With several copies, the nearest count.
Chain A
Amino acid sequence: MSETVTTLRVPRQDPAPLGIDLSTRLAGVYFPNPVFTASGCAAAGQELGQFFDVAKLGAMVTKSIMLEPRSGRATPRMAETPSGMLNSIGLQGPGIEVFLQRDLPWLAERGARTVVSIAGSSVEEYVKLAQRLRGKPGLTMLEVNISCPNVEDRGKVFACDARAASDVIDAVRRVSSVPVFAKLSPDVTDIVAIARSVVDAGASGLSMVNTLLGMAIDTKTMRPVLAGVTGGLSGPAIRPVAVRCVWQVHQAMPEVPILGMGGIRCGNDALEFLLAGASAVSVGTAVFGDPMAPMRIIDELRAALAERGITDLADVVGRAHRPPEPYVPEGPDPEVADQ
């Protein structure tokens, strides 16, 4: 990894203006800042590249890629919900070969750190994907999207079964040349149990959380809005659930690096995840409303740390688990609380 680290220390990665060090490490990998895109919310970077330099991201997390091209589901694929949205894309994508020819090289050329998200319908598919990606230039980390139906278990989602989830992770990390993050679903009774099982299976870290299963019904047509009937709920609406998941898992396994996500829309939201125990965050749905969101959030996060007199991002990671600091303002009205 040390190579990566040094190569990443070039100035244009803006290490820390204002003397604030936003850099973070996940499983030993260095990132100049903790703000990543979220899988499926930034495609493979080209489109966002029209709005900002993707190398300025902590990392670019790509849309989950599968072995073969995928059409995805029929439309409608989305519904707006209060402070959130539902999607049922069905993992549309070009397949790993086109991704390796077209997308990953584009990201590598631009010096973007790339977290490649892979998705499969069997352990074997995940393994093949990891093998194809071995040692490819630009590949920084693997994120394993296990919120996929397991064809070998009557379509049961890997992420909802500790055994199936750990089988995938164990197999992938054996063939991967880079750290492997398991992306967890919040739709489980005991997120800590699932987290433990994938960590025991060798996950270098955890991405939390994927969308919550939801649905909407069009009261005009009196039918489900989505062609796929159910879909994944994302956006600020789910942030409290996502923060809780990160909190619980960091509480149970403080040493395991977490990439936190779920409803991050501004710097304070990102800070909330860091305080809960995440070492970096992904910004997903917010990008749809604001293509510049990741860049804005980096600036807002830097300003938030400055306000609090914090010069090193590491100081806030998991901090909410520590006993309260003495200087916590008393009373609900800070401005006259000093009365």
Chain B
Amino acid sequence: MPPVQVKGEVVSNKMLGAYHHMTVAAPGIAEQVRPGNFVAVGIGGAESSMLLRRAFSIYTASDRGVYGGTVEFVFAVHGKGTEWLARQRAGDPLDVVGPLGRPFRLPKEPLTATLVGGGYGTAPLFSLAEALRGKGCRVDFVLGAATTDRLFGLLEAKRISSSVAVTTDDGSTGERGRVSDVLPSVIERTRSDIVYACGPMGMLRAVADIAAAHGMPSQVAVEESMACGIGVCMTCVLPVRGEDGVTRMARSCVEGPVFMGDALRWEALGTVPADCLGAPVEVH
């Protein structure tokens, strides 16, 4: 199902701890959303000095309701664009493109899955959890954040999963520490078969390493700076090892944002590894 561009409308924009929870009426998008997809939102209108869309993982989408299809996402104010977005109110127009990106892949058989979320990175994991449970999978959550106000969806996680482990850097909720501190025990306790994760790069890498160490597959949703979000600009690339064993600079907006944890060249992030296809040869 191809992405569509929709002149949507803000239904609500609420503070949620340190984050904003945005609901947008975006008919045509909601219907097609799968867990792990994201939307790209236009910022500031035609006279804005900000040309580029901002990408947000879809928290949930519903194709029913008075507004026709709605899409919800959770965002942190980071810079000028999200500041503007935080100021938008119910009824304001919002230009949305989506659904974008490759979603999480679901297992054929009913497995035990551990879902790891960092900060707002937890947002896309709830629809994933539901899809997994729909396939008869067991779902356990590990949620982490710097502080409690950045811990997203704890109650919801408890409602829809078999167990939830929580960490915060300051220990204000759950264990003091990182998700990577508790993930191994969770995996072992639940005899997990697969790990799904979304959050900052540092966390994703730690999660992928742990999964690998336990000889299990992981899928991680990355966050790379994106200019277009639709695959035409080549700004959002990461070094990824393909089925054929060859590393390519892969576009995270169309080949991702969900990648297999063992396909990402973690050690080479932010570089072009020498063995990458078409890597620059030093001219002497």
Direct contact of A and B (CB under 8 A): yes
What residues make up the interface of A, taking CB atoms closer than 8 Å to B? 40-43, 47-48, 50-51, 63, 68-78, 80, 82-85, 87, 89-90, 92-93, 95, 151, 155, 227, 235-236, 265-266, 285-292, 330-339
Please determine whether B232 and A42 come into contact, CB atoms closer than 8 angstroms.
Answer: yes
Find residues 244-281 in chain B having any chain A CB closer than 8 Å to their own CB: 248-249, 254, 270-272, 276-280
A332 touching B225, Cβ below 8 Å: yes
B146 CB–A CB distance under 8 Å: yes
Considering the chains assembled together, what is the distance between the CA atoms of A43 and B227 in angstroms? Answer: 13
Known contacts A72-B237, A77-B235, A87-B235; A339 and B53 CB within 8 A of each other: no
B22 → chain A closest CB, angstroms: 17
B278, A339: Cβ atoms under 8 Å? no
* 6 extra interface residue pairs, beta carbon distance < 8 Å, beyond A77-B234, A339-B178: A47-B232, A84-B51, A332-B200, A332-B223, A339-B169, A339-B203
B270 engages A74 (CB within 8 Å): yes
- Whether A292 lies near B146 (C-beta < 8 A) is no
**Size class of the B contact interface (CB-based, 8 Å):** 35 or more
A/B interface sample: 22 pairs, CB < 8 A: A40-B233, A40-B234, A41-B232, A42-B232, A82-B49, A89-B234, A155-B283, A287-B228, A288-B229, A290-B42, A291-B97, A330-B201, A330-B202, A331-B200, A332-B200, A332-B223, A333-B200, A335-B18, A335-B76, A335-B78, A339-B144, A339-B203
- Contact: B118 with A75, CB < 8 Å? no
A83 to chain B, nearest CB (A): 5
In the complex, the answer to whether B144 meets A43 with C-beta atoms within 8 Å is no
Bound CA–CA A287/B235 (angstroms): 14
Note all chain A residues with C-beta closer than 8 A to B74: none
B232 touching A339 by the CB < 8 A rule? no
Q: Are A89 and B231 in touch, CB under 8 angstroms? A: no
* Residue B52 CB within 8 A of the other chain: yes
Question: Known contacts A47-B231, A69-B277, A82-B49: does B283 contact A151 (CB below 8 Å)?
Answer: yes
In the complex, whether B5 has a CB less than 8 A from a CB of chain A is yes
Q: Are B51 and A80 in contact (CB under 8 A)?
A: yes
Q: Beyond A73-B272, A339-B144, A339-B145, is A83–B228 a contact (Cβ under 8 Å)? A: no
> Could you tell me if B270 and A227 are in contact, using CB atoms closer than 8 angstroms?
yes
Min CB–CB distance A149 → chain B (angstroms)? 9
Q: With CB as the reference atom, state the residue of chain B lying closest to A68.
A: B278
Contacts between chains A and B (CB distance < 8 A), count: 170
- Which of the residues A48, A89, A288 comes within 8 Å of B51, measured between beta carbons? A288
Complex alpha-carbon distance, A292 and B96, angstroms: 12
Cα–Cα, bound, A317→B200 (Å) = 32
Bound: A235/B121 CA distance, A: 31
CB distance from A55 to the nearest CB of B (A): 17
Assembly CA distance A48 to B233 (angstroms): 11
Question: Nearest 10 A-B pairs (CB), nearest first?
Answer: A336-B119, A50-B2, A69-B278, A288-B228, A78-B235, A47-B231, A331-B200, A331-B201, A70-B278, A71-B278
In the complex, A316→B53 CA distance in Å? 32
Beta-carbon contact of B233 and A41 below 8 Å: yes
Question: Closest Cβ of chain B: how far from A296's Cβ, in Å?
Answer: 10
Q: Are A83 and B49 in contact (CB under 8 A)?
A: yes
Q: Does B3 contact A (CB under 8 A)?
A: yes
Find B146's partner among A50, A235, A335 (CB 8 Å cutoff). A335
Alpha-carbon separation in the docked complex, A285 to B103 (Å): 27
Residues of A within 8 A of B90 (CB): none
Interface residues of B in 62-92 (CB under 8 A from A): 76, 78
- Please give the distance in Å from A139's CB to the nearest CB on chain B: 20
A295 vs chain B, min Cβ distance (A): 11
Instruction: List residues of B (87-143) whose CB comes within 8 Å of A's CBs.
Output: 95, 97, 118-121
A229 to chain B, nearest CB (A): 14
Closest Cβ of chain A: how far from B17's Cβ, in Å?
A: 12
Q: Is the CB of A288 within 8 A of B52?
A: yes
Q: Is the CB of B169 within 8 A of A338?
A: yes
Q: Is the CB of A75 within 8 A of B238?
A: yes
